[in-house]
Chain A
Amino acid sequence: QKEVEQDPGPLSVPEGAIVSLNCTYSNSAFQYFMWYRQYSRKGPELLMYTYSSGNKEDGRFTAQVDKSSKYISLFIRDSQPSDSATYLCAMSANTGTASKLTFGTGTRLQVTL
């Protein structure tokens, strides 16, 4: 079993829809949770990170962490065609420099006009 599971998609939604992207994990030591966006032929770029449980909002993006269920989500409101990309969740046990980072396999999102 992988430490981090993520539905690969593809997920296709119309412009303006609310998108929900999710990851589950098995390692209870994970405390830091990140979401990256990767456009085709580019390196991933950080969208958001959260510590422990709770919500964090940044513009149209909201990240949620439920440590009791080992489940994290990224919500995108008012989705735009420019949001079409692969979204990767990532997790680590601590944010210090002495820590591994584990990624999900990514969910491909397509926002259509």
Chain B
Amino acid sequence: EAQVTQNPRYLITVTGKKLTVTCSQNMNHEYMSWYRQDPGLGLRQIYYSMNVEVTDKGDVPEGYKVSRKEKRNFPLILESPSPNQTSLYFCASGQGTYEQYFGPGTRLTVT
């Protein structure tokens, strides 16, 4: 089954404790991206990747890191999470921006 998977689905952590949210796709897509979704602000792009080892900033990259060492994986790293990073996070993949397949989401709470 073609899909984008994210783990964990739910995470509660404390300020400053490094965490990684994994994202994997099995559709051989070149384009992968991370978004955060907040009430009243909608979906905002954090980082995107055009291919292995090629990444670029979206609209809200501060406080996040990404890496693309393999085509299928695109982990999101929060080196020192803060409460303002509490949000619903989505990973997506596609052949380009015109058709994105989204994962199920990761709800992150930082206390």
Contacts and interface: CB of A to CB of B under 8 A. Distances in A.
Interface of A: 6, 8, 32, 34, 36, 41-46, 49, 88, 90, 92, 94-106
Given A43-B103, A98-B56, A100-B45, A105 B97 contact: no
Given A8-B40, A42-B104, A98 B98 contact: no
A103 B44 contact: yes
B97 A101 contact: yes
B98 A49 contact: yes
Given A94-B97, A95-B96, A101 B102 contact: no
A36 B99 CA distance: 10
A99 B102 contact: no
Interface of B: 4, 30-31, 33, 35, 40-45, 48, 50-51, 56, 58-59, 90, 92, 95-105
B90 A97 contact: no
Contacts of A88: 42-43
Given A43-B90, A49-B98, A97-B30, A103 B42 contact: yes
A105 B98 contact: no
Contact of B102 (A43, A96, A98, A102): A43
- The 4 A-B pairs at the shortest CB distance, nearest first, are namely A43-B102, A105-B42, A97-B50, A103-B43
A48 to B, nearest CB: 10
